[in-house]
Each structure stands twice: as C-alpha cells, then as structure tokens.
Amino acid sequence: MAASSRRDGGAAGRAKAERSAWVLLTPMCLLMAVAFILPVGLFLLYSFYRFRGGRLEETFTLETYWRFMTDELYLITIYDTLQLAVLATLLCLVISYPLAYAMWRMRSPGLQKLIAFIVFAPVLVSVVVRSYGWTVVLADQGPVNFILTRLGLTSGPVSLVYNMTGTVISLAHVFLPFVVFPILASMLRLDPTLREAAEDLGASWWKTFRSITLPLTLPGVVAGAQICFTLSLGSFVTPAILGGGRVLVLPIQIYTATSDINWPVAAVGGLCLLVMAFIAVVAFGRLSQYSEAV
Amino acid sequence: MSAKALLFATSLLAAAVASGPAALAQAERDAKISFFMFAGSGSDVVPKEVIADYLKKNPKVGIDIVETTNAIIYPKMVTARRTTPDQPLVHCGFFNADTINRGDADDMWETLNKANIPNMANTLPSYARPEARGVPYQAMGIGLLYNTRVMKEPPTSWSVLWSPDSRGKIVTFDNDLRLVGLVSKLNGADEKNPDIGFKLLSENAKNFRALVDSNDALKNLVISGDAPIAPWFSSVSDVWIKEGSPVGFAVPKEGAIAFPIYMAIAKGVTPAQRAVCEDLLNELLTPDRAGRYALVTSSIPLVTNATLSKEQVENPILNPAIAKNAVQIDFAYIATVAADWRDRWAREIKLKMR
Amino acid sequence: MSGTVELVGVTKRFGSHLAVDAISFGIGSGEFFSLLGPSGCGKSTTLRMLSGFEAPDEGIIRIAGQDMADVPPYRRPTNIVFQRWALFPHMSVEANVAFGLEAEGRPRAEIRSRVGDALALVGLSGFAARKPGQLSGGQMQRVALARALVKRPKVLLLDEPLSALDLKLRHQMQIELKRIQQEIGTTFVFVTHDQGEALAMSDKVAVMNAGRVEQIASPQELYDAPATRFVAGFIGHANLLPVTVDGVANGLAMVRLGDLHFAAALRETSIGDMPSGEAILALRFERVRIGAGPAAEAAGAAGAGVARATGVVRQMIFGGASVQYVVGLDAAPVEITAEQPHGAGAPVFAQGTPVTLSWEPADGRLFKA
C-alpha cells in the first residue's frame, strides 16, 4: 500500500484529501442553494409577472423591467440609491481618516481607548434609536441649527433632516466604526521607521503624509469604503426614518411593493439592487488591487 | 292541558331553548387561538382584561396575544392565507378601516353569525360591514392636530393643508391616501375621481415638511414646532394633550374624517376556534367593555348603548357626535386602487417635495 | 571642523534603566568611526541621540561645532541609514533616493543629476526604475546608502546596516562601504555588535558596555592592547584565566596558575594600576602554540622564558583556515584554547592526544579580577 502510493507520487492521497474537502463543503453548498439560489430563482420568476389592479397576474411579461429602465420614478429611485451610497461613503471617509489618524498618533493609550469606545459605541445601540437621535439633533429647533444660527453662519434654521442631507449624515455615522477600523489597521501595519526615515530626510509633515502615509494606507481606505458603499446600497431604516419621504431608495421601494404584495416590482427592484451590489464589489476589488500595487 | 301547565311547559321549553345556545356557549371551550390587538395608546387594556377573565372561566383555552400594527401583521396574514389556509396567522382581532377593506379583496374575513354574537345588533348601522364581514367597534375622528405655541389660532378648515401659505408646515404619514380622498371630496369630486385631490396636493407638495412612518416621528415634528399642523386621530391627540404636550385638536368646519376600527374573525378557523372568537367579540361589544375601551383609548364607541363616563359625554373629542357628523371616506374603494394611488403619490407628491 | 562630532557627559535614561552613562568623546572630520558593543550596551541609543530622534537627559552633543540641543532630526546635518533600510516600498529606487532632495525643494534637473551620481557611487546605475520589492538585500542596502548620501550630510549615521545580510554579502559590503567613505570623505558613525566588522572598516572604534565607553582606539590598538578585561574578551578570541600575581621581577609580573609559574606582561601604565593578588590573564588563542607530547625542555620554567604547560586535547574544532584545540591542563584545573593555522605541514592533534602549550610572556595581559 505504502509502496504504490509512493510510486504514483501520493496522488491517491491527494485525491482523498480533495474528496474530503468537498464533503466538508456540502453543508455550506446546501445552505447557499436553499437560502440564496432558490429565493433568487423565485425572484427571477416573479419579476416576469404583472401586477394590475391590486392583483398578481401570472402572465409572462417584460413590462416591469421596461418600466425600471424608462419610468422616471424608478430611474430617480436608482439614482437616489447610488447618490446616497456615494455621498455617505465620501462623508464617512472624510471623517474616518482623520479620526483614525488621531487614534494612531495618540500617545496616551487611555485616550486612544476612549476614542475607540466613542467610535464603536453607536454599534451597541440599534440603528432605529440612532436614527431617531439624529432627527432630534438635526431638527430645525435642534442643537445643530441653534449653533449655526448663533455663530451667524446661517440666517435661519437650515433644513438638515427629512431629506438627503440628514440621511447622508446619519448613514455616515452608522458606518463610522466599519471604516475607521480598517484604516486604523492599515496605519498600524505601517513600518514606523518609514516615517522616521522621511523625517530624517527632511520631509515636512505634509510631504510625509502625502508621499508615505496616504499611499501606504490606501488599501485600508478602499476596504473601508467598500464596506460603507455596499452596506449603504441596502440601507433601509436610515432613509426611511430620516428621509421624510424625499429620499426614494430601492430598499424602501421594495418594502412598499412587498406591502402591496406587488411581487413583480419587488422582484425587479431586488434584482436591481443585487446587480448594483455585484458591480460595486467588482469595482472595489479592482480598486483594491490597484491601491496595493501603488 | 291547564293554562298553568301550558305556561309552565312553555317557559320550560323557552328556558331550554334559551339556555340551549347559552348552554352550548358555556360548553367546554377547547381551542388555541391568536388574537390581534393594537399596540400602545391604551388599545391593549380592555382586550387584555377581557382575555384574562375569559381564560379564568375557560381553562382549556389558549390565547396567544399578537400586539403590533395592522401594517405589519396584515401582509403576513395574507401570506399565511395563501400558503397555509387552514392555519390562519391571526384568528380574530381588531382591524382598521384600511385593513378591513383590503381583507375583502384578499378573501380574509368570515361572515359573522349574529346569533352567536348578539351584541352586534347594538352597533351603528351606518358603519356596518357588507355581509357582516366584521363588526364596527370604535371610531376615531381624524381632524387637525396643531402646535398651540406656533399657531396663534387653531386651524378651522381642511384647506389649510393645501393652502400656499402653509409651506413646510404640514406633516403626515407617507402614503396618506385618506388625504387624497378627502381633498377630492372637499373640492367637488370624490374617491373615484381623485385627480383634483392629487393635483392640489401635488402643486402644494412643498407644504409637507416631511412624510413619516411612525406616531412618534409625527409627534416630535408637531411638538417641536418644525411642522405645526398634521391631520391626525382624535384619540391619540387626546392622549398627547393629557400628557401635557403643547398641542391642540381642531375639528375642521367641513367635519372630521371618520376612521372606524372593526373586529373580525379570519377565514380558516376551526369551529372550536370560531366559538372562542365569537365569545371574545361578544364580550368586547358589551356596553361596559365598549365604553371603557373608548375611554381608555379616547375613541368614540360605535356601540350605541356603550356606558359613557361624564368626561366622555362632555369632551368634544370623545363625543359620539363626531362619528355622526363625520365625512365618510369610501375606504373600501380606496383599498382596491391603493397600489395605483401609492404609485401616483410617489410620482406626484414625493417627487415634487424634493 | 566640518564633520566633527563631540559628546560631553551625555546621559540617557529610560524609566529606571540607565542606557547611556555620562559618555564623552570626539570624532574627527572624515573618520570612519564605529560604536561597538553587545546588545543593550547603549550604542544604538547614542546613535539615535546623534540623529535627533532621542534627546539626552544630560550632557551636550555638538555636530560640526554646533550645539544640537532642541534641533530636530530634519534640521541636523546628519542622515541615517536604518538597520532594515526603511526604503519606501511603493516608490521606485529613483524616487526613494530623490525623496530627501524633493523635501528640500530642489529643482528637477538638479535632483535628477544628483540622484544619478548617488546611484553611480553605490554601483546601482541601471536600477533607477526598480521597486524595493524587486531588489536583493545588498541592493536595498545600497539604495538606503544612496538615499542618505545624496543629501550630502556632514555626518552619516549607520545603524547596524549590514546585520540583515548573509556572511559573504556582508564582507563584500564592508569593503564597498569603506571604499565609498574614503571616496566622498564624509564622517561615518557606524554602529555594530560584530567586532570583526568594526575592526575591518573603522579608523577608530569605541567599545561600549552597559552604557559606558570601555576604550576608544584604532582597531590594531584595541586588538593588541585592550585597556580593560571586557575589551580583551570582546575583541578577538582570548582565554581569560584566573591567576595570582606573586610579584614583579625583571620588568615582568610573576604569576601563578595552579601549579604553573610563569611571567606575564607589565602594561605601559603605571605600576599602581597593575593588579596584584587575584587577577585575570588574557591570552589570545592564536598566541598559544601547540606541540605534540611532553615538553622537550623543562616544563613551567619559572624564569623569563617561554611559558609552558602540558595537557590533553579535550576538543578539536576545525575552522577551515585554522584549527582550535581546547586543552585541559595537567598542572591546573583549567582549559586553554590554542589556535593554529591549518595547512600542509601543520600537524592535527586528535582528541585525547597529550600536548604541550607554550606562549611568550608578553602575550599574557593582566587585568583586575
């Protein structure tokens, strides 16, 4: 037995190892099939039906797809969904990077832990509670508008909530920990002697940041941005509570359609989101490769 | 037979007959049901009392209380009806006007047996359901909730909602189709011809400070003064006024919208489950229970002989007169066209708000 | 004047640990100066204080005659070559070397020409477009050197830059570094724990131990005339034998080791420094001659003649160019290691062979016990 396996170079052993790998994968494959592939297939089926007069008609039609591509309401919904994801990601990055940088450069470990807690604590509270909190903070009569008017930056209260602005702000806040920590991780991985070398060679803080720190932490930035973007695409609670009816995103659209039992619209909307998320994943994958090669 | 004997026999027979169904009614109830009630604002108080008393008398019965909103539970009930028709998600409970009418289209409700629910006879006929698919119970008047600090005087007319002077002052629920129906009716048309309603609301879409999804969001906006006017329920308004919030409730001169809630039994119940449901509904329709429910939720009882407290008689918000003079909206029709109206709402109002 | 370094009473503490203990010395302009010592002796800390990344707790540091107190690293006329080179991994070789000049704001043309010269100096002219990930260890080392030298510092600081290279490469780079230093004439301050490296390259070496400087001297002087027992043991290979000093005669010290009596060198320092009583005798391996069998002449002559001892070979360690013999003495309970060149004609003694060891009295140096 031993002799023969030695003769064929251990191929029998390798084949056995491969088989056991497949056996171990089977439960996962089954779960994926039942929980993901089957429902998506059902979705696909429903997307070809028609919904008229409050009833589902099981006739084959591409009407819903056509409407999604031409109807102003659906196009605006797709646009809003993308706009929300892009704006939330940008705002989140703009806040997260300096925050991560501050945490990285902080000398006292006590202060570092405090900031980490402040960044992470919102995760402990449900997103519904947080969203309501923002409606209070950003209200016309709320503290933010109070400060803005007192400082003379605006002549009266600015509409910061129940629109895209408030939704973007709250969403960026929700995803802050998911973006801060990947960026911080990539900063901690930076070889500290690189910054010393830069300083020794006479680089100012800005040159060191621009030429060394930023390019080498870019992979962390891309990772964080990917998380924020793809999660923003699917966010429901925040635009529902803070949008005030002005933010028309796909998840809300799908929810309304489902409550109406309008399966075709819900299905096409869901597929639309799936495609957008897939494209986002591929795009960010490319971006990630590029950022690591830099 | 002597007259005395005849009388005795008749009364015996009558007693037997009378006690027959009663005896049947008090025969051992043995079933498990799910009972739906609204969450919060006192809507659970009286039903829970009724259920507790019932369980003491009928130890073999199990009652699972489902306490949430119609909007959440109804789609699930429909799905259950389609997939497991013999096992309804909810066997009986409370349903508002929107839901009870949608239920007709989705074939959800049993026809109620007046013999088994005798107290049904004491409800206002103008609110009765077609083919007794449910029984009217309470109503709220929908009027104008307003912030007493921001509004120097209470609003007097529904037209404040579509007046060009009300920019950014109004808040209401998203997809408030009742509003479309109301505006149409008040401007010479009706629910079947809602174009004028949509037009007026669309042209003045910027009146809406926000469209919300929860009672609390609406409350916050009105109380803070960000959106000082909202079309809202008399009952909930009364609760907030009693809490001390700086709000008032005005019944517009055109009349409040009557918004009734019904009780119904879902299709797919077994006879044993049905019997339990009928008992519960009948008990809730008794004058004391009906009156108390109205008092606790600040609603108007649609049970004509409901026991009213002094306050219920004197408080205009709680007075049954609101129900009598109310603007009747054809919720049944709106339910059938709801999906199309929601689509128009998105296009003509939400898009114009931005 | 231009590349001089001066330390006066420099002390550095980390918490309760005294890393550098009031050291004072000077480095001449254009010197290749090494700081040599075991781990934790304070040499790296001293270098970091020269570079400006650490500040001394006490004392003065002057570079090119200027007091460097409160002067940050980027304003000092120094540059560092780090132990692991710290090349910017995302930049090309050319960009790495140009970095310091760009930070100064030099014009493009000047940068290009100086970078070209620097790369030529270290022998990497064709490598401008490569990235550090595509370079070998030795090449990376040279880029790090070019990057520092292109700035024309008055003093170049090198923090064990060769320790990450393999042996052959290290020897090559030692020669390269020496050549470059002589060509450009910049003062080099070189930190290492490898004494062979320090001796090979340096004009002067400062041997450090536990935060103090044991001796500063040229490599040859360190080797031939170690000033302290530590230096004697650290530089080269030496036997450190516990002996008793009986007295002085004929300009030599008379010592006793077990039953052996022989003479040892008197140092040039005053008699007062000479240890008496218990002492340590340092005897270099290669100074001990080994011969077969019992002595032809009388063993352990007490006079001023050659010291002799008989013993048995306990271990034979073959080192290629030379062979070491660990010999257990007959007359004393110690082992002496002798080293002799290996080649045709030199006899090889197997384990267990009786042998005679001999050495000149002048080769035995005495230190306080």
The string of pLDDT tens digits covering residues C209-242 is 999 999 999 999 999 888 888 998 899 899 999 8
Among B1-15, B308-322, C35-49, C68-82, the least confident range: B1-15
Q: Rounded to 5 degrees, what are φ and ψ at A49?
A: -90, 180
Question: Helix and strand tally (H, E) in chain C?
Answer: 8, 20
Q: Contacts of residue C86 in chain A, CB cutoff 8 Å? A: 191, 193-194, 196-197
Look at the alpha carbons of C135, C137, C140, C142 in this order and tell me if their dihedral is positive or negative: negative
Chain A neighbors of C99, CB-CB under 8 A: 198, 201, 203, 211
Provide φ and ψ at A53, rounded to 5°. Answer: 55, 35
Average pLDDT (C305-329) is: 90
Alpha-carbon distance values, A257 to B97, B194, B198 (Å): 20, 22, 21
**Chain C partners of A203 at a C-beta cutoff of 8 Å?**
74, 99-100, 103
Report CA-CA distances (Å) from A213 to A188, A206, C306: 11, 10, 67
CATH number, span A71-293: 1.10.3720.10
The dihedral through the CA atoms of B101, B104, B108, B109 has a sign that is positive
- At residue C271 the predicted structure's pLDDT band, cuts being 50, 70 and 90, is very low
Q: Nearest Cα to B158, choosing from B220, B216, B232?
A: B232
Confidence of residue B14 (pLDDT cuts 50, 70, 90): low
pLDDT average, residue stretch C137-161: 93
Whether B and A touch, i.e. at least 3 CB pairs below 8 A, reads as yes
State the pLDDT at residue A107: 80
Contact A258 B75 (CB under 8 A): yes
Q: DSSP code of C64?
A: T
**Fold matches, C5-229 and C240-368:** no
Confidence band, pLDDT 50/70/90 cuts, at residue C129: very high
Instruction: Return the CATH number of the domain spanning residue range C5-229.
Output: 3.40.50.300
Question: Using CA atoms, how far apart are residues A147 and A185, in angstroms rounded to an integer?
Answer: 35
Checking if the pLDDT of C61 tops 80, the result is: yes
CA distance A88 to chain C (A): 29
- Which is nearest to C338 in space by CA: C297, C292, C294? C292
Whether residue A201 and residue C51 make contact (CB cut-off 8 A), yes or no, is: no
pLDDT at residue A220, as a whole number: 94
Partner B contacted by A140 (CB < 8 A): yes
- Is pLDDT above 60 for A92? yes
Beta sheet of C252-257, edge-to-edge order? C260-264, C252-257, C238-249, C277-284, C364-368
Question: Within the 58-77 window of chain A, which residues sit less than 8 Å (CB to CB) from chain B?
Answer: 72-73, 76
Please tell me what DSSP assigns to residue B193. -
Note which residues in 195-224 of chain A have CB less than 8 A from chain C: 196-204, 207, 211-212, 215-216
Topology of C240-368 in CATH? OB fold (Dihydrolipoamide Acetyltransferase, E2P) (2.40.50)
SS3 C329: strand
CA distance to B178, B181, B198, B260, per residue, from B328 (Å) = 10, 10, 19, 10
Distance CA B127, CA B113 (A): 17
C-alpha to C-alpha distance for C340 and A289, rounded to whole angstroms: 60
CA distance C100 to B232: 71
Q: Which SS3 state, helix, strand or coil, does residue A260 take?
A: coil
B313 C-beta neighbours (distance < 10 Å), count: 10
Task: Show the domains of chain B with their CATH numbers.
Answer: 7-139+260-324 (3.40.190.10), 140-258+328-353 (3.40.190.10)
Question: Which of C84, C89, C103 lies nearest to residue A203, judging by beta carbons?
Answer: C103
Of A162, C342, C304, A179, nearest to B170 by C-alpha is: A162
In this prediction, residue C269 carries a pLDDT of 53
A25 burial via Cβ count (<10 Å: 0-12, 13-18, 19+):
exposed
Is there a contact between C336 and C329 (Cβ–Cβ < 8 Å)? Answer: yes
- Of the candidates B349, B10, B336, the one whose C-alpha atom is nearest the C-alpha of residue B191 is B336
Distance CA A292, CA C306 (A): 70
> Distance between CA B187 and CA B5 in Å, rounded?
69
Q: What are the tens digits of pLDDT across the range B53-97?
A: 999 999 999 999 999 988 889 999 999 999 999 999 999 999 988
First-to-last CA distance in chain A?
52
- Res C186: pLDDT: 93
pLDDT digits (tens, 9 = 90+) for A226-240: 999 999 999 999 999
pLDDT (tens digit per residue) in B119-169? 999 998 888 898 999 999 998 888 999 999 999 899 999 999 999 999 999
The amino acid at residue B7 is L
Per cent of chain A over pLDDT 70 is 96
DSSP category for residue B327: B
**CB pair distance less than 8 Å for A140 and B226:** yes
Q: Tell me the domain boundaries of chain C.
A: 5-229, 240-368
Distance CA A248, CA A251 (A): 9
* Chain C positions in Cβ-Cβ contact with residue A215 (cut-off 8 Å): 90
Burial A47-78 (b: 16+ CB within 10 A, else e): bbbbbeebeeeeeeeebbeeebeeeebbebbb
Residue in chain A closest to C98 (alpha carbons) equals: A201
Residues of B within 8 A of A76 (CB-CB) are 351
Residue type present at position B147: N
Best of A191, A195, A201, A214 to disrupt the C interface by mutation (most C CBs within 10 Å)? A201
Is residue A232 classed exposed, middle or buried when 0-12, 13-18 and 19+ CB atoms within 10 A define those classes?
A: buried
User: Rounded to an integer, what is the distance from CA A2 to the centroid of its chain?
Assistant: 53
Closest CA to A241 of A131, A88, A100, A159: A131
Say yes or no to pLDDT of B22 above 80: no
Cα B260 to Cα B96, B110, B143, B232, B323, distances in angstroms: 6, 19, 14, 14, 9
Q: Is the pLDDT of residue B23 over 50?
A: no
Looking at residue A46, its pLDDT comes to 84
Whole-number Å distance between alpha carbons of C96 and C90:
9
pLDDT of residue A54: 63
Strands C252-257 and C5-14: unpaired
Q: Is the per-residue pLDDT at B15 higher than 60?
A: no
In this prediction, residue C145 has a pLDDT band, given cuts at 50, 70 and 90, of very high
Q: What are phi and psi of A23, to 5 degrees?
A: -60, -45
Cβ atoms within 10 Å, residue B137: 25
**Rounded distance between C-alpha atoms, residue A268 and residue A286, angstroms:** 27
- A180 to chain B, any CB pair closer than 8 A? The answer is no
With an 8 Å Cβ cutoff, are A203 and C51 in contact?
A: no
Question: Using CA atoms, how far apart are residues C73 and B298, in angstroms rounded to an integer?
Answer: 77
Q: Check residue C321 and report its DSSP letter.
A: S
Find the length of chain C. Answer: 369
Residue B38 has φ and ψ, to the nearest 5°, of: -70, 150
Rounded Cα–Cα distance for residues A212 and A194 (Å)? 8
Q: Give the span between the Cα atoms of B65 and B49, in whole angstroms.
A: 12
DSSP B325: T
Q: C14 in contact with A at a CB cutoff of 8 Å?
A: no
Measured over the CA atoms of residue A216, residue A217, residue A222 and residue A223, the dihedral's sign is positive
Predicted pLDDT of residue C301 = 45
Percent of chain B with pLDDT over 70: 92
> Looking at CA atoms only, how far is residue A150 from chain C in angstroms?
43
Say what the alpha-carbon torsion angle A27, A28, A29, A35 is, to the nearest 10 degrees. Answer: 110
